[in-house]
A and B are shown apart, each in its own frame.
Chain A
Amino acid sequence: MTSSLPNERSIADAGTVGSMAARLEVRDLQTWFYTRRGIVKAVDGVSFALEPGETLGLVGESGSGKSITCLSMLRLVPEPAGRIVGGEVWLGDTDLLQLSRHEMEQVRGRRISMVLQDPMTSLNPVFNVEKQVGEGSMYHMGLHGSGLRDRVQQLLRWVRIPAPEVRANDYPHQMSGGMRQRIVGAIALSSQPSVLIADEPTTSLDVTIQAQYLQLLKDLQEEHRFSMIFVTHDFGIVARVCDRVAVMYAGKIVEMAPTRELFSSPRHPYAKALIQSLPDPDLEVEWLTTIPGQPPSLYDLPQGCPFAPRCADAMDICTQQYPPTFETGVATDVSGGVFAGGAAGVSSGVTAGGIGPSHTAACWLYDGAPR
């Protein structure tokens, strides 16, 4: 097919887009904001890999750099203040940071896509559902007319919109929050991307709708085999949907572990404190546990580890030098016991090849060298 019509080619492509499962690898990503008050290193040397079909949780408090990490992967950091100043984002064998603007437009939505946080504001109020859901398929698959309409119907059925033939003509303001977020899901998946980023997609939904939406995402993932990055600060959600978790603090990943392992034996003092502050319904306590101190101002990060000022285990070196990332799977525990990291890969279904260390922490406590 050397001179095929755009429509034929695109429909043929459409069949293959979904199966083009690709590995995503972020290496030493750095996104800085140049503000009047100074430089903010919102993302400062983030590295991780995402295997096809895997779900990685990205947790951390507001301002820890989760969302900017995601926007950087899509190259949608708000310009001109924000700039990706270093790193690589490999999707399959392409470094997304090297693509031209135009090439990047063809990657977005088609190979890597995103669900935004607030369904009330993420749909365009002046376009109807059909136009908004169909647009991706129009640009990426070249669908038009009745082909496009059928595609929209199909997508709406995927996300379980009742009476899609009627709803397609509705405008966003005629729909509930839960339904709008499903529409956003349909938009994000419309060109069957291999990576879906979900940036706190359930935060603004009420609890019953949250559960439904999570189930929907999981079902869709099973069916269409995309890998997912799930940004959240809700550990309940992490436990439900994520295979592995990366914990972020002040623009850096401080710990990365299979989900179950993070809950059972967190390594980094920050991650430990987070897990400890989860309320336990079985325990009757008057006060919830909190982490002492405040998150540091990104304008004025302390030397060394930014968590050191709040850390009970801080040593001299912590305030002098940022720790490298240590493999902690079989490291000596702080308390002196030896942790057996053998079960690490099992719960996550992560393949051993290429992922590297299964449980890592950026903390001097795990420095094997004597000091």
Chain B
Amino acid sequence: MRRYILARFFQAVVSMLALSLLVFFLVRLTGDPRDLLLGDDYSQEQWDKIGELWSLDEPIYVQYAIFLRNAATGNFGESIFWKEPAVEMLARRIPATVQLTLTAMSLSVIVAIPMGVLSAVKRDTWLDYAGKTVAMLGQSVPAFWLGIILIWVFAVTWNLLPTSGREGPLHYILPSVTLGWFTVAGIMRITRSAMLDVLDSEYIKLARVKGVPENVVIWNHALRNAAIPVVTFLGLILGNFLTGFVVVETIFSWPGVGLLAIRGIQSNDFAIVQTVVMFGGLLFITINFLVDILYGYLDPRIRYD
């Protein structure tokens, strides 16, 4: 187990380095932040001064070396526009994204897993068709469209819910539903197909042969086995959510990580973009690691030694 964790740690370091390289160069392809910062009317002196301040005129590999050196000490630079450490700006945004994620996640898991299981158990009945319809709608309706429609119906027309911001519990409803809608569809589809595979298996037949009550067969014997692909999918979704659901946070002006990323990109704010992307990468790696550990608990065949 220790060797496994150590190996995973080195893999993580390599992945993070690759990611930093990628984001560092990509973000510099989008343009020089001075163009936006200084506008049309500036002197060469101002240009050079800012360039010096942010090491913008150094050769690009020197800039990367500086970035790495600073990052190693936890310094991810300062936002060019807000003149604040990028890490602090990110940290302030994290709670909003985490809260929205947890709400949307729990909502979709609570709805989707039972729906997927029932859909598989009642295969080819109206219940299954209803489930399939929901899944199809969920996967084909884009979040930006759904978000706007929900705002229009529930906030504008009926005036029941707030359109944007994050002031109270009511503000969570529309963004969570918009986020969860897509996830429900995915989780349901995966749960259903995993359950169908498992329900066809010989060990489920044997469980019935020995007289285990049908609901125990389904919710314990079968679901435990069907859980693995579902957990994998949940891990991916969780990673997506925590890095800020860019579209949903934009529609609902949710002050989360996604919105910060958008602002950073729009203003060529290198430090912000780099920090957010690196944070996302770290989250993904961590979640993947946790999911792999969880496999070991779900399936005794995958235990690491």
Contacts and interface: CB of A to CB of B under 8 A. Distances in A.
Interface of A: 74, 76, 80, 101-102, 105-110, 113-114, 116-118, 121-128, 135-136, 139-140, 171, 173, 184, 187-188, 190-191
A110 B209 CA distance: 9
Pick from B201, B206, B221 the residue with the most CB of A within 10 Å: B206
A116 B202 contact: yes
16 contacts: A74-B208, A80-B124, A107-B211, A109-B212, A113-B210, A117-B202, A118-B202, A125-B299, A135-B207, A135-B210, A136-B212, A139-B212, A139-B213, A173-B301, A188-B209, A191-B211
Given A125-B301, A135-B212, 8 more contacts: A109-B211, A113-B209, A124-B203, A126-B300, A136-B210, A139-B212, A139-B213, A173-B300
Most buried by A among B204, B209, B213: B209
A187 B202 CA distance: 14
A128 B300 contact: yes
Contacts of A127: 221, 224
B49 interface: no
B85 to A, nearest CB: 47
A116 B299 contact: no
Nearest to B122: A80
A122 B205 contact: yes
A110 B205 contact: no
B180 to A, nearest CB: 28
Contacts of A101: 214
A121 B206 CA distance: 10
B196 interface: no
B89 interface: no
B300 A136 contact: no
Given A125-B225, A125-B299, A171-B301, A76 B209 contact: yes
B298 interface: yes
A187 B203 CA distance: 12
Contact of A74 (B124, B209, B221, B298): B209
A105 B221 contact: no
Given A116-B202, A116-B205, A118-B202, A190 B210 contact: yes
Contacts of B301: 125, 171, 173
A135 B124 CA distance: 31
Contacts of A76: 205, 208-209
Nearest to A190: B210
Nearest to A171: B300
Interface in B167-221: 201-214, 221
Nearest to A139: B211
A108 B209 CA distance: 6
A108 B217 CA distance: 14
Given A116-B202, A116-B205, A118-B202, A125 B210 contact: no
A108 B208 contact: yes
B201 to A, nearest CB: 6
B212 to A, nearest CB: 6
Contact of B206 (A80, A107, A122): A122
Q: Which of A101, A114, A190 has the most CB of B within 10 A?
A: A114
Contacts of B207: 124, 135
B208 A126 contact: no
Interface in B202-246: 202-214, 221, 224-225
A136 B211 contact: yes
A108 B211 CA distance: 5
Listed residue (A102, A117, A124, A184) with the most chain B CB atoms within 10 angstroms of its CB: A124
Contact of B211 (A123, A126, A140, A173): A140
B150 to A, nearest CB: 38
A200 B209 CA distance: 16
Interface string B291-305: 000000011110000
A214 B32 CA distance: 81
B203 A125 contact: yes
A105 B209 contact: no
A140 B201 CA distance: 23
A108 B214 CA distance: 12
A345 B254 CA distance: 85
A45 B208 CA distance: 25
- Specify which of A101, A135, A188 lies most central, judged by the most chain B CB atoms within 10 Å of its CB: A135
Nearest to B208: A76
Contacts of A187: 206, 210
Contacts of A171: 300-301
Contacts of A123: 203, 206
Contacts of B203: 121-125
B224 A108 contact: no
Contact of A184 (B206, B224, B225, B299): B206
Contacts of B221: 124, 127
A139 B213 CA distance: 8
A184 B207 CA distance: 11
A253 to B, nearest CB: 23
Contact of B225 (A80, A108, A113, A126): A126
A116 B212 contact: no
A136 B209 CA distance: 9
A102 to B, nearest CB: 8
Contacts of B202: 116-118, 121-122
Contacts of A184: 206
Nearest to B203: A124
B295 to A, nearest CB: 11
